[in-house]
Chains A and B, each alone.
Chain A
Amino acid sequence: MSRTPTLAELQTAVRNTVLGASSDALAGVIAGDGLGHAARLDVYRNNTTLLLREALAANFPVVSELVGEDFFAQLARAFLRGHPPSSPCLFEYGEAFPDFIASDPAAAELPYLPDVARLEWAWNEAFHAHNTPALTASALGTVAPEDYPHLVFAPHPALRMVSSPYPIYTIWALHQPDADPDATVDLAQGGETVMVTRPETNAQVCVTSTGAAIFTDRLRAGENLADAFAMAAEMDPAFDGGAVIAQLLTQGALATFDLV
């Protein structure tokens, strides 16, 4: 820069350098003081790269473990340079990471990785969701059976569903602290749909059916029980409405109900 930059110009130039651009534009703007401006700016670039990678690893611990430290560092660096956080609350950094993984040729050999990342993002969102009391079976017991078709439900704010053609629950479970270290997963076993909720103190993941995912989507859209049941049964011949309602209640997946 040939003259003293304004604060906005200077911050844009430092931002560009921290996110990977050459530091040439800042020669003469940053005092070298014996070390050189590039070496000093490297500290900031390294801090940002390391701390944002750690933030991503905290939000995607299974992805990080699946690909190993070096490959994760490469993925994270490419991601953060193209998608730096827009919020300083880093527990919400990485919403676009699953799609980024899906688009990155380097990760193409692990086709299940984007869906595992989607599961981890669902877990992360469930973990930080609002502390809303879950609907209990006894509260629902006040409804007369003939009114069941007219029930509408508000899902609990923690509820997330993720469907995949890969066994994402099995893969995820193998990388939890209490997993059997000798267990393996057969990718040919077929896809899994998972439900993520926060029934008590912590987020939980369990396997559910594609019908359950369709059913909860319809409930979210405000459809009553009869219509949501019909749609789920049409899309998933094995759909068992009673079992799904029981699972949703056990897992704390619903918040309130109403009759329409």
Chain B
Amino acid sequence: MRMASANSIAQSLDNPIPARAGIGLKAQHYAEIAERHPDAIGWLEIHSENYCGAGGPPQNWLHALREYYPVSMHGVGLSLGSAGPLDHKHLRRLYELAERIEPHLVSEHLSWSTANGDYLNDLIPLPYTEESLDVFCRHVDEMQDALKRRILIENPSAYMRYAHSPIPETEYLLAVCARTGCGILLDINNIYVSAHNLGLDAHAYIDAIPAHLVGEIHLGGHHDAEVDGGGILKIDNHGSRVRDDVWALYERAIARFGPKSTLIEWDSDVPELDVLLDEAGRANAILARHTPDGEIALYQDERTENARVPHTHLG
């Protein structure tokens, strides 16, 4: 990876955010990040839905932090997999948010959340059929057209699969990329969780993904839940440190893909910022092992000058 200038970052679709660790932005960390500008993180990710208000403190903090960090807009609510139409009011708000903050990445999920107009606030897996593939690709096209940019689609964590789901998930994901031109946000924890819950092969999953399609990686914590009948389901709750097995799978993925922007996700029982920075440091160390000498450090030193797009309307 070469150190990029501000302009080439703005224009590049292939590597629009540094191949370093970032963290999910949480309200309880706004002030501390603004004060410290920690070097362990090269960028921030937001849940887009939390910043769709007309104004107020969340918007103000995001604008202030956007001065220092590239931002990735990660959507959890558009429900691209719904059989019904997309929520056009929400799509409009995502467009307006993107206009305001000029994100470096925009992503959504290979899943659905809304049925009959009711938003269920969970990322529910799709049956992988030709019917759902047509629906999903149409909605990805709609989102990319509305936002006028390429998006990344994240592989889901799953606790169930459908009896009729004939297309393997990796094949389905690659078909979505081929038809729509989108990229992949590969969540390593999700691969691990789904592999356990559905009896899949996590290594084979990673080996099926071409490196050039991966625009971002997610890492997060999960926990083991005992279900009726005594079995264990791994639940992807983003409420703890990344498990050692997931770190091992991550290192295997980075060895295959090369360095990729990597997010530490932590959404429930959010700890002190230093815990997230510690996890980010661990990801950076793995990225550094798979990066030619010194380039991660160089990027870090030059970050505030080079890692963001000029952002005129913030003054």
A43 touching B225, Cβ below 8 Å: yes
Q: How far is the CB of A160 from chain B (nearest CB, A)?
A: 13
Please give, as numbers and ranges, the residues of chain B lying within 8 Å of A186 by CB-CB distance: none
Please give, as numbers and ranges, the residues of chain A lying within 8 Å of B124 by CB-CB distance: 14, 18, 44
A sample of 20 more A-B contacts (CB under 8 A), given A89-B50, A203-B56, is A7-B135, A11-B82, A11-B112, A14-B115, A15-B118, A29-B162, A35-B229, A36-B228, A39-B228, A39-B229, A40-B227, A44-B159, A48-B120, A87-B77, A88-B121, A89-B77, A90-B49, A91-B53, A128-B56, A129-B55
Query: Given A88-B79, A128-B54, are A35 and B233 also a contact pair (CB < 8 Å)?
Result: yes
A87 touching B90, Cβ below 8 Å: yes
Q: How far is the CB of B87 from chain A (nearest CB, A)?
A: 7
Query: Given A11-B83, A127-B56, are A85 and B162 also a contact pair (CB < 8 Å)?
Result: no
Binding site for B on A (CB under 8 A): 4, 6-8, 10-12, 14-15, 18-19, 28-31, 33-44, 47-48, 51-52, 55, 84-92, 127-132, 157, 198, 201-203
The complex places the Cα of A11 from the Cα of B199 at a distance, in Å, of 24
By beta carbon, the residue of chain B nearest A83 is B118
Interface residues on B, range: 35 or more
The complex places the Cα of A88 from the Cα of B82 at a distance, in Å, of 13
Please give, as numbers and ranges, the residues of chain B lying within 8 Å of A43 by CB-CB distance: 159-160, 225, 227, 233, 235
The 9 closest A-B pairs by CB, nearest first: A88-B77, A128-B53, A131-B55, A40-B160, A8-B83, A15-B115, A11-B115, A84-B118, A130-B54
Q: How far is the CB of A167 from chain B (nearest CB, A)?
A: 27
Q: How far is the CB of B173 from chain A (nearest CB, A)?
A: 17
Please give, as numbers and ranges, the residues of chain A lying within 8 Å of B227 by CB-CB distance: 35, 39-40, 42-43
Query: Given A10-B127, A37-B160, A129-B56, are A88 and B90 also a contact pair (CB < 8 Å)?
Result: yes
The complex places the Cα of A87 from the Cα of B94 at a distance, in Å, of 13
Please give, as numbers and ranges, the residues of chain A lying within 8 Å of B163 by CB-CB distance: 28-31
The complex places the Cα of A90 from the Cα of B58 at a distance, in Å, of 14
Please give, as numbers and ranges, the residues of chain B lying within 8 Å of A132 by CB-CB distance: 55
The complex places the Cα of A6 from the Cα of B198 at a distance, in Å, of 22
When the two chains form the complex, which single residue of A85, A131, A157 contacts B60, counting CB atoms closer than 8 Å? Answer: A131
> What would be 29 A-B contacts, judged by CB atoms less than 8 Å apart?
A10-B127, A10-B162, A11-B82, A12-B116, A14-B124, A15-B116, A18-B122, A29-B163, A29-B164, A33-B161, A33-B198, A35-B227, A36-B229, A38-B228, A39-B231, A47-B121, A48-B120, A84-B118, A84-B120, A85-B119, A86-B117, A88-B76, A88-B78, A89-B93, A92-B53, A128-B56, A131-B59, A131-B60, A203-B56
Q: How far is the CB of B34 from chain A (nearest CB, A)?
A: 13
Please give, as numbers and ranges, the residues of chain B lying within 8 Å of A51 by CB-CB distance: 121-122
When the two chains form the complex, which single residue of B53, B56, B114, B116 contacts A89, counting CB atoms closer than 8 Å? Answer: B53
By beta carbon, the residue of chain B nearest A86 is B117
Please give, as numbers and ranges, the residues of chain B lying within 8 Å of A14 by CB-CB distance: 115, 124
Please give, as numbers and ranges, the residues of chain A lying within 8 Å of B120 by CB-CB distance: 15, 18-19, 44, 48, 84
When the two chains form the complex, which single residue of B57, B198, B231 contacts A202, counting CB atoms closer than 8 Å? Answer: B57
Q: How far is the CB of B170 from chain A (nearest CB, A)?
A: 18
B90 touching A198, Cβ below 8 Å: no
The complex places the Cα of A132 from the Cα of B131 at a distance, in Å, of 46
When the two chains form the complex, which single residue of B121, B159, B225 contacts A85, counting CB atoms closer than 8 Å? Answer: B121
The complex places the Cα of A157 from the Cα of B56 at a distance, in Å, of 11
Please give, as numbers and ranges, the residues of chain B lying within 8 Å of A88 by CB-CB distance: 49, 76-79, 87, 90, 113-114, 119, 121
Please give, as numbers and ranges, the residues of chain A lying within 8 Å of B93 by CB-CB distance: 89
B84 interfacial contact with A, CB 8 Å:
yes
B160 touching A6, Cβ below 8 Å: no
Please give, as numbers and ranges, the residues of chain A lying within 8 Å of B83 by CB-CB distance: 6-8, 11
User: In this complex, which of B50, B54, B76, B87 has the most chain A Cβ atoms within 10 angstroms of its Cβ?
Assistant: B54
B277 interfacial contact with A, CB 8 Å:
no
B144 interfacial contact with A, CB 8 Å:
no
B304 interfacial contact with A, CB 8 Å:
no
Q: How far is the CB of A76 from chain B (nearest CB, A)?
A: 12
By beta carbon, the residue of chain B nearest A88 is B77
The complex places the Cα of A203 from the Cα of B160 at a distance, in Å, of 43
A31 touching B161, Cβ below 8 Å: yes
Query: Given A15-B116, A127-B57, A130-B54, are A7 and B233 also a contact pair (CB < 8 Å)?
Result: no
Interface string of B220-254 (1 = CB under 8 A from A): 00000101110101010000000000000000000
Please give, as numbers and ranges, the residues of chain B lying within 8 Å of A86 by CB-CB distance: 117-119
Q: How far is the CB of A28 from chain B (nearest CB, A)?
A: 6
The complex places the Cα of A48 from the Cα of B159 at a distance, in Å, of 14
